[in-house]
């Protein structure tokens, strides 16, 4: 009987699940509820991935490419895959086959340990449809694991036809999005890295970099035998410990895995120290990514300017929350910088050693960076104890002083709105990539290149126009500085942190220029978000696919400021900023950042805000409003309609009424239904109705 009860309890998890995609239309039967859809469509290319595992190593995907993108069909796609995977790609077979009752081409290939099978055919509009199955060798080799995969192609039905273009608004429900976020969340690791003690020898003239890292690892489970860390660019030379071990490097396109196998397993809570020696004869990592196309280099050791942002130049685990003790050894008289507190500077034998320590443990989305150059600097220590220091090259004294002034203004706004930083020093540093630009915030360290380090004399940002290229050098200071709070102190996910940074830009301009500049910033964000909608699929801010297409920046950077401005108007300044500070003080990384933000504001507001956060952060798109009015003898009747698809939004609107006598009257209303009618007395006949606040309403307003 217990076995029967167990089988009944487990049955729903393994029950097959029909799936229907509306636009373009296709159907298939998923092996179980564990298989979650992830829509990564962009720029007219359909990409829907189904996977039961967080790393998506086992997956089924449906893709459709417009014909012109694949002029030679499967051969063009094979060339693209081969270029992306490099030497890891190996074709197994390309042969005729069938899929969904159509003649197709069956293509099987390997990338590393994984095998992928794709079937491809052309639809009625000459687009190429691909049905993909991928899994590691262990899955394909196990008959029980392989069987659900093999049933998927037989269940696939394609009827996309003339409606093959992806929808402009993703219709995923908040429940679905939360499931996808949970699927993408990092798994609990069987170990934790508690401390790095790093020594790096940097030789700019020789382009070389040597590393020694003593890594303290503690077991979170009993019988810990294997530790996996990740690096990029550097080559591991040796790994040793106070016990016998074996180690290997698992090459991968994104980051190499350093896998250490212990001869003597660790008990729960037991620690081991790994001594890793690594190096790089030519420390340089470029990037061809398109998400932020202006970035071309993420790390270099070169004469004049050596620095690193995204390079994993020391081995890290995915949580990346260890204490660090970093010593940078460079030729004198160069200055070496990173995050943390400078505790020691020793000069001897024409070299200088800088030692920095950061004892706080918190998850970091990026590794500690570094910068090395012939720097001069200036600093200011605030009443809060926060030490702000700016570094530039000889001849840049004026620009350094300008940024000290701007950082001080930013800190006035951010400490008021977000609370104090939990660490005492932030360094703002000018670096010089060998190509393109950079602007990035790292733990305790901000790096910007020439384009973002101009002379700020005469820069006027009072319009709040974020698109004005003349104000970028000013705004990048505020934007990257705010990430010290939202990205590293609070640890909000990037898709939320970037929008908060745009909003704190508005707060900075409010301090610098007044309310008109703040309003102008919100207006710029609204134009960018709503004005460009419709060309490609828009995803909710919280949807993992928000990164997948050209709507990434308008949605992630520009929608959140509109949402926060609407919340500020609803709550008032006192409760709004109290809620902001409370949210930033909630630093439990096990709680999703969107939920922490909601909890902070709810605590300050004393009311439930779940529906507000759900409709703005977990729903794609925006309200579309139409208004009409009818004059009465004693006033006016105004009807507001929401014409967008789906459920109506809850929306605070200011109805501005203009009368024949020249008077204007603003009536605040709370929309909750698809259509609502309001009546007000007026001193004269109404002649016009406008919806606002002007330029700041998170909605598209259409004519009557």
* Ordered DSSP codes for 29-54: EESSTT-EEEE--BTTBEEEEEESST
Confidence of residue 14 (pLDDT cuts 50, 70, 90): very low
Give the least confident one: 514-518, 629-633, 672-676. Answer: 629-633
To 10 degrees, what angle do helices 593-605 and 552-571 make?
Answer: 10
Q: Span 431-450, mean pLDDT?
A: 93
- The pLDDT value given to residue 3: 35
Contact 571/601 with Cβ under 8 angstroms?
A: yes
Q: Span 345-351, mean pLDDT?
A: 96
Answer with the residue of higher pLDDT: 1 or 362: 362
* Most confident region among 16-30, 43-57, 223-237, 520-534 by mean pLDDT: 223-237
Q: Span 295-324, mean pLDDT?
A: 93
Q: Span 468-497, mean pLDDT?
A: 92
- Given a cut of 60, whether residue 11 has pLDDT beyond it is no
Confidence of residue 112 (pLDDT cuts 50, 70, 90): confident
- The pLDDT value given to residue 7: 25
What are the tens digits of pLDDT across the range 520-579?
999 999 999 998 887 677 899 999 888 877 788 899 999 999 999 999 999 999 999 999
CA neighbor of 379 nearest in space, from 333, 342, 414:
342
- The pLDDT value given to residue 599: 96
The reported pTM is 0.76
Confidence of residue 10 (pLDDT cuts 50, 70, 90): very low
* Nearest-5° Cα angle at 25, 23 to 29: 125
Contact 436/476 with Cβ under 8 angstroms?
A: no
- The pLDDT value given to residue 645: 85
Q: What is the mean pLDDT of the chain?
A: 90
What CATH topology corresponds to 624-702? Answer: Immunoglobulin-like (2.60.40)
What are the tens digits of pLDDT across the range 265-286?
999 999 999 999 999 999 999 8
Element (H, E) at 277: strand 271-280
Q: Which residues pair with residue 197 across a beta bridge?
A: 214, 325
- The pLDDT value given to residue 168: 76
Listed in order, the ranges of the chain carrying CATH 3.40.1000.10 are: 16-166
Give the least confident one: 4-18, 31-45, 340-354. Answer: 4-18
- Given a cut of 90, whether residue 56 has pLDDT beyond it is no
What are the tens digits of pLDDT across the range 395-421?
999 999 999 999 999 999 999 999 999
List of residues 6+ apart from 620 with CB closer than 8 A: 169, 170, 171, 172, 538, 539, 540, 543
Straight-line distance from the first to the last Cα atom of the chain, in angstroms, rounded to the nearest whole number: 67
* Most confident region among 15-29, 284-298, 526-540, 605-619 by mean pLDDT: 605-619
Answer with the residue of higher pLDDT: 509 or 287: 509
- The pLDDT value given to residue 167: 59
Question: Residue 311 and residue 322: Cα distance in Å, rounded?
Answer: 17
- The pLDDT value given to residue 13: 34
Confidence of residue 704 (pLDDT cuts 50, 70, 90): low
What CATH topology corresponds to 16-166? Answer: Protein Transport Mog1p; Chain A (3.40.1000)
List of residues 6+ apart from 585 with CB closer than 8 A: 419, 600
Residues counted in the chain: 704
Answer with the residue of higher pLDDT: 605 or 533: 605
- The pLDDT value given to residue 392: 98
Q: Span 381-389, mean pLDDT?
A: 94
CA neighbor of 328 nearest in space, from 430, 209, 442:
209
- Given a cut of 80, whether residue 128 has pLDDT beyond it is yes
Distance of CA 569 to the CA centre of its chain: 27
Distance of CA 247 to the CA centre of its chain: 32
Confidence of residue 189 (pLDDT cuts 50, 70, 90): confident
Q: How far is CA 127 from CA 152, 154, 352, in A?
A: 22, 21, 61
- The pLDDT value given to residue 1: 33
Token output for 11: 């049955």
Confidence of residue 162 (pLDDT cuts 50, 70, 90): very low
* Ordered DSSP codes for 530-556: HHTTTSS-B--TTSGGGGSSTTHHHHH
> What are the counts of helices (DSSP H) followed by strands (DSSP E) for the chain?
13, 37
Strand arrangement, sheet containing 425-430: 376-381, 387-392, 425-430, 445-448, 439-442
* Ordered DSSP codes for 227-267: EEEEESS-EEEEEE-SS-EEEEEE--SS-EEEEEEEEEEEP
CA quadruple 528, 529, 534, 537: dihedral sign: positive
CA quadruple 472, 473, 479, 480: dihedral sign: positive
Token output for 175: 């429940």
- Given a cut of 90, whether residue 37 has pLDDT beyond it is no
- The pLDDT value given to residue 294: 65
CA neighbor of 481 nearest in space, from 505, 513, 506, 464:
505
Listed in order, the ranges of the chain carrying CATH 2.60.40.1840 are: 624-702
- The pLDDT value given to residue 485: 93
């Amino acid at each position: 009987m217990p076995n029967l009860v167990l089988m009944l309890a487990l049955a729903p998890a393994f029950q097959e699940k029909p799936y229907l995609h509306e636009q373009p239309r296709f159907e298939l039967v998923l092996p179980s509820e564990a298989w979650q859809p992830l829509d990564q469509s962009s720029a007219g290319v359909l990409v829907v991935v189904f996977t039961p595992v967080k790393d998506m190593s086992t997956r089924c995907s449906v893709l459709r490419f417009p014909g012109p993108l694949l002029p030679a069909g499967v051969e063009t796609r094979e060339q693209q895959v081969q270029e992306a995977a490099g030497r890891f790609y190996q074709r197994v077979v390309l042969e005729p086959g069938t899929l969904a009752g159509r003649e197709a081409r069956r293509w099987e290939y390997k990338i590393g340990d994984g095998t992928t099978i794709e079937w491809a055919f052309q639809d009625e509009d000459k687009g190429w449809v691909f049905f993909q199955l991928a899994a590691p060798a262990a899955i394909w080799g196990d008959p029980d694991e392989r069987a659900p995969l093999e049933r998927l192609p037989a269940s696939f039905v394609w009827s996309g036809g003339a409606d093959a273009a992806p929808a402009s608004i993703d219709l995923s429900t908040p429940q679905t999005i939360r499931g996808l976020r949970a699927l993408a969340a990092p798994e609990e690791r069987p170990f934790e890295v508690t401390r790095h003690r790093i020594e790096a020898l940097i030789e700019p003239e020789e382009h070389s970099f040597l590393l020694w890292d003593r890594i303290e690892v503690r077991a979170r489970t009993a019988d810990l035998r294997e530790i996996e860390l990740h690096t990029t660019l550097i080559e591991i030379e040796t790994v040793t410990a106070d016990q016998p071990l074996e180690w290997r490097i698992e090459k991968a396109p994104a980051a190499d895995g350093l896998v250490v196998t212990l001869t003597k397993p660790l008990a729960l809570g037991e620690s081991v120290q790994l001594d890793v020696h690594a190096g790089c004869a030519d420390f340089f990592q470029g990037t061809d990514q398109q998400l932020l196309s202006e970035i071309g280099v993420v790390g270099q050791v070169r004469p004049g300017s050596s620095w690193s942002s995204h390079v994993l130049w020391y081995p890290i685990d995915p949580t990346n929350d260890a204490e660090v003790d970093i010593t940078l050894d460079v030729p004198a008289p160069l200055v070496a910088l990173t995050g943390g507190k400078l505790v020691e500077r020793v000069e001897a034998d024409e070299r200088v050693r800088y030692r920095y320590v950061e004892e706080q443990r918190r998850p970091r989305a990026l590794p500690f960076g570094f910068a090395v150059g012939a720097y001069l600097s200036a600093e200011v220590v605030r009443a809060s104890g926060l030490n702000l220091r700016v570094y530039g090259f000889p001849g840049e004294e004026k620009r350094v002083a300008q940024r000290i002034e701007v950082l001080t203004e930013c800190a006035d706004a951010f400490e008021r709105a977000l609370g104090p930083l939990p660490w005492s020093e932030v360094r703002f540093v000018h670096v010089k990539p060998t190509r393109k630009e950079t602007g990035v915030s790292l733990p305790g360290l901000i790096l910007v290149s020439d384009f973002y380090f101009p002379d700020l004399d005469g820069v006027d940002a009072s319009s709040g126009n974020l698109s004005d290229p003349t104000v970028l050098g000013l705004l990048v200071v505020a934007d990257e500085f705010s990430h010290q709070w939202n990205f590293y102190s609070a640890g909000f996910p990037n898709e939320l942190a970037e929008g908060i940074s745009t909003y704190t830009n508005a707060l900075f301009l409010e301090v610098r220029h007044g309310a008109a500049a703040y309003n102008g910033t919100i207006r710029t964000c609204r134009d960018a978000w709503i004005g460009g909608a419709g060309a490609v699929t828009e995803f909710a801010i919280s949807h993992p696919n928000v990164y997948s297409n050209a709507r990434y920046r308008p949605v992630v950077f520009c929608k959140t400021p509109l949402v926060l401005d609407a919340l500020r108007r609803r709550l008032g300044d006192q409760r709004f900023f109290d809620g902001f500070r409370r949210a930033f003080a909630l630093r439990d990384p096990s709680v999703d950042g969107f939920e922490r933000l909601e909890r902070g504001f709810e605590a300050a507001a004393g009311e439930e805000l779940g529906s507000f956060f759900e409709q703005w952060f977990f729903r794609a798109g925006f309200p579309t409003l139409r208004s009409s009015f009818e004059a009465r003898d004693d006033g006016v009747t105004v009807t507001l309609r929401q014409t967008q698809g789906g459920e109506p939004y809850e929306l605070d609107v200011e109805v501005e009424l203009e009368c024949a006598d020249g008077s204007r009257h603003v009536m605040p209303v709370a929309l909750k239904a698809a259509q609502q009618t309001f009546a007000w007395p007026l001193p004269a006949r109404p002649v016009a109705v406008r919806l606002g606040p002007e330029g700041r309403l998170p909605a598209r307003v259409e004519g009557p």
